[in-house]
Amino acid sequence: MNYDNENIFAKIIKGEIPSEKILETDFILAFNDISPKAKIHVLVIPKGKYIDIYDFNKNASREEILGFWEGVNETIQKLKLEELGFQIKIHKGESGGQEVFHFHIHILSND
């Protein structure tokens, strides 16, 4: 599968579709999931074009990988979830429940 430049998260990065932004850095964008499964349900995506976690881990630079996980922690702080705890979900592939083929993680509060 090739990366589709017109996927919904690519459009969010380009500003063609609005999002409820939580945080933006050079490397990531964090925004509210449009169909939340918990009180807090935020998606964090890298700005680079990666289809899924395997593609990201295999092909992203060290700088992008570090920048991504630093962005995840900044998002956690912004959501004030560092003490409360939370769940992180990652879907890979259609059979793994992935619907949008731009790598993303779900941060979900426990309520």
- Smallest distance, ligand AMP to C-beta of residue 96, A: 8
Helices (DSSP H) in the chain: which residue ranges?
A: 8-14, 53-59, 62-78
Scanning residues 24 to 53, which ones bind ligand AMP (CB under 6 A)? 33-35, 43
Answer yes or no: are the C-beta atoms of 68 and 27 closer than 8 Å.
yes
Indicate which single residue of 17, 66, 84, 88 sits in contact with ligand AMP (rule: CB under 6 A).
17
Q: Is 104 a catalytic residue?
A: yes
Please report, as residue ranges, which positions from 42 to 101 form the binding site for ligand AMP (by CB under 6 A).
43, 91, 97-100
Output 79 or 100, the one with its CB closest to ligand AMP: 100
Residue pair 100/72 in contact by the 8 Å Cβ criterion: no
State the sign of the Cα–Cα–Cα–Cα dihedral 64, 2, 5, 29: negative
Query: d(Cα 97, Cα 37) in Å, to the nearest integer?
Result: 14
Binding site for ligand AMP (CB under 6 A): 8, 17, 19, 33-35, 43, 91, 97-100
Residues annotated as catalytic are 104
